Amino acid sequence: MVPTYLVSRLVRESCTVALGGDAGDELFGGYLHYSRILNQMKWRRFMPPLFKRIIGRSATLLPTGFRGRTYFRALEQSDSDAWARATLLLDGRYRRRLAPLTRSLPGFPPEEYRVRAGQAGKTLLQKMTAADFATYLPEDILVKVDRASMLASLEVRAPFLDYRIVEFAFGRVPDRLRATESARKILLKMLAKKLLPAELDVQRKQGFSIPLDTWFRGPWGVYLRDVLRSAPPSLYDPMEIGRILASQERGFANGQRLFNLAILELWRREYDVHVSAS
C-alpha cells in the first residue's frame, strides 16, 4: 500500500489516468513461488510417503521464520494439494497454537480455501494461477491499487483484466509458455522483447514491497512489539508471541508475519471487536 501510494502520487503529477499491470502475474505465471513449487513437486514424487511425512512433521521443530520451513511442512500433505500449503505464512498447527480462537472458527481453513479456489485448473500450474487469480488478486492486489491510487486522485486501469485476455491466458496458453521450474511470464517476455526497446530489462521483476525486517530494528519495531504484547490472550497466545518476536531478533524472517498480526490487532482495536477463545 505505502509504495503504491508513493508511486501513484508521483504519476499523478503528470496525468490523471494510468495503466497498471495487475493480473499479469496471475494470468501468465509471474510469481516466484510458481517455479519453486513446480521444482519441489518434481523431486517430491521420488520420495516415499513415509519419508515425506517424517520430514513434514519434523519441520515443526524449526523456528518460525526459518527459510524453507513452509516448504518442508508441505511435505506432510498429499501431492494433490501440497501446493496450497507451501506459501502459507502460518500453517494450521502453528495457527492453533498462536491464536486459540482459530480452533473453533466455523467454515474451512485457508489451506482448503486455496485448494477450492484452484479446482478450476487441470495442471499444477493452472491450479496455482487460478487460486491466485480468485483470491490474492481481488482480495489484496486490486484493493491495494484502487485505494492507494484513489488516495492520490489517480485512476488506474488494468487492461490485463479484459475478459478476452483472461480467457486467452487460461484457455489457450500452455504451461510451458507461462511458467516452468526456471522461468516465469515466458510468453509476455517474448512479446516484450519484440515490442519494447532493447535497452529495457524485461527479465527484471520488482515487487512493491517494504523493508519490514529493517524497519523492525528501529522505532517502528518497538511500536509493533508493544501492539502485539498488549493484544488480548484470547487473540494471541502471549508465549507464542514472545517466541516469534525472539526468533525475529535472532535473524529469522518473520517481519511479514509480525506485521500481519499487528495489523489484525490494530483493526480489532479500531472497531472495538471483542474476541473469545471459546
Helix (H, G, I), strand (E, B), or coil: what is residue 129? helix
Q: Mean of the pLDDT values across residues 240-247?
A: 93
Domain ranges in the chain? 1-209, 212-270
Q: What pLDDT was estimated at residue 227?
A: 97
Cα distances from 164 to residues 50, 80, 204, 237, in angstroms, run 45, 30, 27, 48
Among 5-14, 70-79, 162-171, the range scoring the smallest mean pLDDT is: 70-79
pLDDT of residue 60: 83
Which residues have a Cβ under 8 Å from the Cβ of 22 and sit 6 or more positions away? 137, 141, 142, 145, 158, 160, 161
pLDDT at 137 over 90: yes
**Higher per-residue pLDDT: 271 or 74:** 271
Region 87-103: mean pLDDT is 84
Contact 145, 156 (CB under 8 A): yes
User: How many of the other CB atoms lie within 10 Å of CB of 163?
Assistant: 7
Q: How confident is the model at residue 71 (pLDDT cuts 50, 70, 90)?
A: confident
DSSP state of 82: G
Q: Is 276 a residue whose pLDDT tops 80?
A: no
Residues 233-252, mean pLDDT to the nearest whole number: 93
Place of cell 483472461: 166
What φ, ψ does residue 275 adopt, rounded to 5°? -120, 150
Instruction: Examine the pLDDT at 277 and tell me if it is beyond 70.
Output: no
80 has a pLDDT exceeding 90: no
Nearest to 20 by CA among 134, 146, 128: 146
What pLDDT is stored for residue 278 in this prediction?
57
Query: Other C-beta atoms within 10 Å of 173: how many?
Result: 16
When comparing pLDDT for 49 and 146, which is higher? Answer: 146
The band of 193, judged by pLDDT with boundaries at 50, 70 and 90, is very high
pLDDT of residue 209: 84
pLDDT band of 155, cuts 50, 70, 90: very high
